[in-house]
Chain A
């Protein structure tokens, strides 16, 4: 029952086409292969229908929806606004805190609540820790896509340390339900600040080690430089965000350009791809942006820990949350890019409509455009560098 996009019979010359001496393009037979939903490098249940000519990719047609869990329908049928938060966690299970942050921010803006300083600082610390954890998964699995297995375990080793920080705080290791509307579910435990500082000092040299092992490996550079180049204008036209956009050389980060929480009080800078090893916007650039962002996140965490004020972790909010009828679109910078929630309230205690604008979904839609003409091995790397989480793509 699955329709397939019919391909044009008359081909424009693609890189793999063989030319005969008369200059005519020889038609070779294309093969259609399904990459996924069960395939080691599709990061979940993405299915790519690829049309190949030998090893050269003629077209890629992504099929998604295998992990569709009706997030939006669920959100409309909760009994109150708070109940949606755990569902947000499950959108992007690699960066649950950031998803909560976006949703909670949207509801708080509708309610027009002022939050205690301490809440904002804790949120920033948690969001940045989560960003490091998520980027570690991204670069680790990216290593696997490139055929290097060891960096993956290096990354997961460090991610474990972050997860135990989360576990210490709210008891959960993956899906936290930690940010609540108007505050947090728990205050930080007393030993948290010390442990987090310890982690920061431990982690900085580890980034360098990881870079030595993978990022500056000659073979890795050969594989990733000049592959899957995403030009600036295409990136903006497809509304790419996060490391995808910054990898293409656009200095754009919502934490700085559409500020929320207390990011404006902290000194840091977004990292952009410069095309050090090849073209601006290639796969290597997206990788290095993630590596540099982890360093920046450590900086942010350190400053936020130093500035962490005392105080309450729950603002005064009405017992039943009933935002005035109206609508809002609030967005935050998650590890994968711009996550927005478009919420319509009809004045009752359940959201009338919640739409999640998932960065992985939007970033994935550009995949066919940047992988045509590459090889199968390139496609794997390009898909890896987009850093999709299928939970977010399919919602």
Chain B
């Protein structure tokens, strides 16, 4: 299926959950409302014409304009087609629904996004920091992140 067809069927199925799309670029993407992410994900995985069973990548992004986002790169081992989904949220209200019940691999990726960008993944089964220490303050990959002076009494910038 081409990106246009996928976009059309998502639009038909979910209507206003599909916010935005850019389909003429090298890797076309569709933007989904963050609170509808899980439903869309289930549809994309289980619909026989979609069958996006393989999540290649899940990355957080700070767009530096007050928006944060999660980018989902999906692939179908059956139909060999790809699509990129995006879920945007604001820095003030960083909430996205978890897709880890859809793709198992999303579990750790989402924990990493939470760790690095502070996007709270709703309905995640085990939302803890993944790479940083549990008591670390701040979310390092945000563009406005300031390195703390001290961590547990140890000087951080050296």
- Chain A residues with CB under 8 Å of chain B are 1-3, 5, 64-65, 68, 70, 72-73, 109, 234, 236-239, 250, 252, 257, 326-329, 331, 338, 340, 342, 344, 353, 355, 357, 361-362, 365-366, 369, 394-395
Contact = CB atoms under 8 A, between A and B. Distances in A.
A236 B77 contact: yes
B105 A394 contact: no
Interface stretch (B1-9, B11-19, B48-56): B48-56
Interface of B: 25-27, 53-57, 59-62, 71, 73, 77, 80, 84, 103-105, 107-109, 116, 126, 128-135, 140-141
Contacts of B26: 109, 326, 328
A252 B108 CA distance: 23
Contact of B57 (A109, A236, A355): A355
Nearest to A362: B105
B141 A73 contact: yes
Contacts of B59: 342, 353, 355, 357
Contacts of A328: 26-27
B141 A239 contact: no
Nearest to A240: B105
B43 to A, nearest CB: 16
Nearest to B143: A76
Contacts of B71: 327, 342
Contact of B126 (A5, A342, A362, A369): A5
B135 A327 contact: no
A72 B141 contact: yes
A256 to B, nearest CB: 12
A65 B112 CA distance: 10
A3 B56 contact: no
A87 to B, nearest CB: 15
Given A327-B27, A365-B108, A64 B61 contact: no
A187 B53 CA distance: 42
Contacts of B54: 236, 239
Given A342-B71, A355-B59, A394-B131, A365 B103 contact: no
7 contacts: A1-B135, A2-B134, A3-B128, A5-B126, A68-B131, A326-B25, A342-B71
Contacts of A395: 131
Contact of A329 (B57, B104, B133, B140): B57
A370 to B, nearest CB: 11
A70 B131 CA distance: 10
Given A68-B132, A331-B56, A342-B57, 14 more contacts: A3-B128, A5-B126, A65-B131, A237-B53, A237-B103, A239-B105, A327-B27, A328-B27, A329-B27, A357-B59, A361-B108, A369-B104, A394-B131, A395-B131
Nearest to A330: B27
Contacts of B60: 355
Contacts of B53: 236-237
Nearest to A344: B61
Nearest to B125: A5
Nearest to A357: B57
A329 B116 CA distance: 20
A65 B133 contact: yes
